[in-house]
Amino acid sequence: MKKIKPAFLLIFILFFNQFLMAQNIYQWRGPARDGKYNEKGLLTKWPQDGPRLLWSAENLGAGYAAPVVSADKLLVMGVENGNSTLFAFDLSGKILWKSSNGKSFVGSGYAANFPGARSTPTVVGDRVYATSGTGRIACFDLNTGEEVWAVDMVNDLKGFMNEFSYSESLVTDDKYVYCFPGGKEISVAKLNRFTGETVWTSKATGDTTHFVSPILVDLPARRVFVSTSRNYIFGVDGNNGELLWKYKIAIRHDGDHANTPVYDAPYIYIATNDNNGKGTIKMELSSDGKSVKEVWSNKQVKNDMGGMIVADQKLFLTTENRNLNILDPATGNVIDKTRSPFGGLIFADNKFICYGTNGDVSLFNYNNGKLTPGGTFKITMGSKEHFSHPVVANGVLYIRHGEALMAYQIK
């Protein structure tokens, strides 16, 4: 048997390790960007005063950005000295490094009431991708925090910074970063994730950007970038930027669509909170990704930023009348509901966790098609609105409230 040369073996091991690292994507709303986390053995009942607080940090500055947890680090966007700042902690709460990503968003007029960090970083292998509220995309080394490259969506990609600025949590694959500058000529762009170089730009709908973090849908025929602009839900061909389809939706006075679409093959779900719109919508995506058709809409079930969950062949989301609703995916009708805060919703280990806009964090166990409460506690640290989405990793629940980040043991 022929021996393998040590040098060749070393090269192979290094290449294989790099390949494995490239496959690990940690991102907004969990591994598949659908609000579901791969956890087991979580508590079915919380103590009366809430789960045990493991650690907290109160130096993040203003913002609503949820954290992301990689294999051994927590990354979260914040503000320091007026700059958009990416903070890296170890999983015991020790600060490892922090890096500036340009000026932070401060807003003017009514928007000045909502300054600070908005988006969740995306971690791929040994790189972190972060967006500032003013549209600066930067790639950082995960271990050192050193900036690798940066692209400004307004200055470099001719994007449009709306009243409340950029809130997109970047979506990536192994080789590319996709972003939504929202300009009239460059609405969507695909960048080389190693260099920041532009691969293609797309006019798409030519519509302005708002607050949705997109998804990528992988089909045999193509990869489809799916997002929501001010007036449309739309799909773009990931290979060349061609607009494949668009679906008209109504807008609120400020057009604040903020829910990430959820894909459950072959369907796309979206929830809106339009004054005269369709509320929650189910669409069927064609097998080649070139078209969609509406299956149903439910005007009574509205949600502007809390997210949706598809589980047990049902659709779950909260509404402003303080209900956690279960929708029949065949008809869109509410088949059951229970009292709940209105807010960010995630799912793990057959449990729903909701971080409400009123500051309540609630647990619901889901068994045999029924929801049963498992406890509620109040977030008292931090300030301003409770808009961040909760995150679960390794049996720990992470909650961001303004300048504060808290880690609770729930296993």
Domain coordinates in residue numbering, the chain: 34-409
**β 36-37/343-348 pair status:** parallel
- Which residues are within 8 A (CB) of 275 and not within 5 positions of it... i.e. 6 or more apart? 250, 252, 253
Residue pLDDT tens, the chain, 411 long: 445 555 554 444 444 444 444 468 999 999 999 999 999 999 999 999 999 999 999 999 999 999 999 999 999 999 999 999 999 999 999 999 999 999 999 999 999 999 999 999 999 999 999 999 999 999 999 999 999 999 999 999 999 988 889 999 999 999 999 999 999 999 999 999 999 999 999 999 999 877 899 999 999 999 999 999 988 999 999 999 999 999 998 766 555 789 999 999 999 999 988 767 789 999 999 999 999 999 999 999 999 899 999 999 999 999 999 999 999 999 999 999 999 999 999 999 999 999 999 999 999 999 999 999 999 999 999 999 999 999 999 999 999 999 999 999 999
Encoded tokens for 134 = 């003013």
Look at strands 188-192 and 176-179 and give their pairing: antiparallel
Say which residues have a Cβ less than 8 Å from residue 15's Cβ, sequence separation at least 6.
none
SS3 216: strand
Distances in Å between the alpha carbon of 99 and those of 125, 146, 147, 362, 398? 18, 7, 8, 33, 21
Residue in the structure block whose two tokens are 């192994």? 174
Q: Give pTM, 2 decimals.
A: 0.93
What pLDDT sits at residue 23?
A: 61
Q: Give pLDDT, residue 15.
A: 47
Phi–psi pair at 154, nearest 5 degrees: -85, -55
Whole-angstrom distance, CA of residue 301 vs CA of residue 282: 12
397: number of Cβ within 10 Å: 27
* Rounded alpha-carbon distances, angstroms, from residue 83 to 51, 106, 113, 179, 346: 33, 10, 17, 21, 30
- Cβ neighbourhood burial of 258 (10 Å; 0-12, 13-18, 19+): buried
Arch. (CATH architecture) of 34-409? 7 Propeller (2.130)
What is the DSSP-derived secondary structure letter of residue 35? S
> What is the pLDDT at residue 125?
96
SS3 219: coil
User: Is residue 332 within 8 Å of 296, Cβ to Cβ?
Assistant: yes
- Kindly report the backbone phi and psi dihedral angles of residue 313, in degrees, each rounded to the nearest multiple of 5, phi listed first: 60, 35
Q: What 8-state DSSP symbol labels residue 395?
A: T
Q: What is the CA radius of gyration of the chain?
A: 21
- In 3-state terms, what secondary structure has residue 12? helix
Amino acid (one-letter) located at 120: T
CA 322 to centroid of chain Cα atoms: 22
- What single DSSP character describes residue 112? G
Q: How many helices (H) and strands (E) does the chain have?
A: 1, 34
